[in-house]
Every structure is written in C-alpha cells, then in structure tokens.
Amino acid sequence: MIGVVVLGSTGSIGESTLDVLARHPDRFRVVALGANRSVGKLAEQARRFRPPYVAMADEQAAQELAGELGAAAHGTRVLGGAGALTEIATLPEADCVMAAIVGAAGLRSTLAAARAGKRLLLANKESLVMSGPLLMDAVRKSGATLLPIDSEHNAIFQCLPAGARTGEAPQGVRRILLTASGGPFRDWPAEAIAAATPEAACAHPNWVMGRKISVDSATLMNKGLELIEACFLFALTPDRVEIVVHPQSIIHSLVEYLDGSLLAQLGSPDMRTPIACALSWPERMASGVEFLDLVKTSRLDFRAPDPQRFRCLALAQSAARAGGLTPVALNAANEVAVHAFLERRLNFPGIAAVIEQVVTRCAAGAIGGLDDVLAADAEARRLASEQIDGRPRATGGRSLEGARA
C-alpha cells in the first residue's frame, strides 16, 4: 500500500485527489490530510478516510476540528499550528505527498516534502515560482521524485522521451508550448474587461477551480506563472517556452522536437487525469474522467495571446527573464492584488497595475536561501498593500477607475 499525504485536501485539487484515491483502495491509503481553516470539510474527509493524522495551519481551526471529530476521530490525531503541515509532509509512513495548498502558504511544506525525499506531486506552482532553485536543489540532493500536477506541465512530462526527469534538460527538445484557455475574458472587448466583476472572473468556461486561480486564469497570470514553473521543471530558458491560446482546453500542452515533430497530450478538461497519472507513474490507472470523443469535439483552435489586453502575462514573462527574486515579488504582489479584487477593493485592471508598481520597486538579485525568499515576499506584500490602500472601494461591480483599460 502506498501512503499518501494530501496538503490542501479541502481545495479543488485536494478533493479531486481524494476522488482518485477512493477509486483504488487496494493500492493507496490516506496517511494524512492538511488544510488551513476549512473545519467542516476536513472533518467530513477525516470521517470518510480515517487517516492517522489531520492537520490545520490555523491553530484555532485545529481546536475546532478536534472538538467536531470528538469520539468519531477513530484514532485520528489532530495537529495544529504553523508547523503542522510540514510535520505531516515528512511523516515516515508517507510515500507520496500531494502539494496542493494555494499560494505562498504551501512553500514550507512543499520544501519539507522534497527534502524528505518523497514522491512530490506538485500542484502548488508558487513553490517553484518563488523558490525554484531551492526546490529543485532539494529534489536533487534528497533523491525525491517531482511530478507536475498542473495539467499543462503534466502534459509536457507525458510528451517527453522515456526516462526524462524533471529538473533535467530533455534530449532533442526545441521548445515547449503551454496552452491557455484564455479564461472567461478571452473574447471580451477591453472596456468590458476593465469593468469585470469577481463573479465574472471566476466563471471559467472550461475548468472548475478555486477563486484565486480562476482570477489568475482571467488575467492570464496563471500562464505567466506556469512559464516560470516550466523553466525550472524542464531546465529551459524562457525563450524556449511559448504560450498559445487554445479555447477548447483539449490539448493540454505540446513539445516540439528538433526533427520537426510536435507531440501533444489530449484529454477532457478534468484534473483527475494528471493526478492519476502522477499517482500511478510510470504506470497508468483509471481516474474516473470521461473519455474524450474527438468527433464530438470536432475542432481545435489556436491563437496568440494579446499581451496588451492581458498585461499580467507580459509582466510574468519579464520576471521569468529577470529571474532571481523578481518572480517572488511578482507572485506576492499578485496574491495581494487578487485578494483585493475578490473583496472589491481593486478593479480588474488594477491587478496588473499593482503588480507592475511592486516589481519595479522591489530589490532584485539572486536567491541565496529561504530567508531571502521570505524577505522578498514580505516586502512585496507590504508594497502591494500600500498601493491598494490608496484606492477607493469598488461599488456595484464596476471599475474603480472608470471603464478604460
């Protein structure tokens, strides 16, 4: 039996992971579940899977969870506090760790799993964006196996030559192409995008995702972050990673080889496919996903992204070229700006404006260690908050600065 820890079990990736695991009870057992403060949902998962451990980063939430489980815990130990997620990520009985905590909050536990030599299923893209050199170094030194869960990076991994490993330059590859759905605003005029509401930004046409990543998809920042992530995962320079808008989200990414071959991975837009692929690698197993009907799909469209309408993508591409601490500032500013947008304290174009200001003001330089990353992250968040605090609160879902892009 393979012991699995799910960090971020109450989020969309975590729930999809548990769905796949439940289909193979003879092969996997849930060792631990971790979340931030979703007490009710984690309690429900604990009752269903009865793991030896559950953990909540929020101490008060952990106490509430322990009270809710009570005698029904059936031997499940409840952990709480800042180090709880790191503790379950390094459990000796854990063979595989799903890192699905959104944002910078997942950094420490992801690094801990890598340093402990686990099979690390990486859905927390921010860990690579913020500390790519540290994470890849930890994987190499510990002998951990790093498998990407983002549908795009998992697709690339599936299209690489047999024996390819993350962190190593693949043989014979000219470039990789990351496909982007284009998000809910891909066909909107600029003036409509400027007035977009949080509800509209979260209404993704193809995928069911959390609110933060849904907004990232709407700004195309998710694709910029994935570009940075791809550079570390596949040891490529930014100029060898191209973004292509593919509205149907059927081709999840492509790999172009020196001989002119272009290999693609196709499938229904369902995160259970890359999750099952990584859990069973190098084998294959059922995921519960609906099989793709190419005749019903009928057509596949592609176009270049518009960096003028979606400035976040251009900002991320620039940060990828700069490297070092610049992606840390980019990611931190984006998290703060997206949170403000979801709370209607910032309009949609304001997300890119805040990020640009913060990246311009933050110190660049190489990453010497985790302390450098955390310091740059804190500084960028402070600057982003200062930028936002001076802006008026949104009303009625309209743009804070009018309807101009």
Express as a percent the part of the chain with pLDDT over 90: 82
Could you tell me the domains of the chain? 2-149 (3.40.50.720), 173-389 (1.10.1740.10)
Express as a percent the part of the chain with pLDDT over 70: 95
Confidence of residue 403 (pLDDT cuts 50, 70, 90): very low
235-280 pLDDT tens trace: 999 999 999 999 999 999 999 999 999 999 999 989 999 999 999 9
**How far is Cα 313 from Cα 216, in angstroms, rounded to an integer?**
10
163-205 pLDDT tens trace: 899 999 999 999 999 999 998 999 899 899 999 999 999 988 7
Average pLDDT of 14-39? Answer: 96
Inter-CA distances, 151 with 154, 207, 239, 355, 377, Å: 5, 11, 21, 25, 26
**How far is Cα 13 from Cα 85, in angstroms, rounded to an integer?**
17
The DSSP H or E segment spanning 370 is: helix 370-389
Listed range (186-195, 206-215, 282-291) with the worst mean pLDDT: 206-215
**How far is Cα 399 from Cα 198, in angstroms, rounded to an integer?**
11
Pairing of strands 173-180, 251-257: antiparallel
Question: What per-residue confidence (pLDDT) applies to 404?
Answer: 24
Question: What per-residue confidence (pLDDT) applies to 402?
Answer: 27
Q: Which two tokens stand for residue 48?
A: 């269903």
**How far is Cα 237 from Cα 335, in angstroms, rounded to an integer?**
25
Question: What per-residue confidence (pLDDT) applies to 309?
Answer: 87
Average pLDDT of 323-328? Answer: 96
Confidence of residue 71 (pLDDT cuts 50, 70, 90): low
Q: Could you tell me how many residues make up the chain?
A: 405
Q: Which two tokens stand for residue 56?
A: 């909540």
Average pLDDT of 373-386? Answer: 95
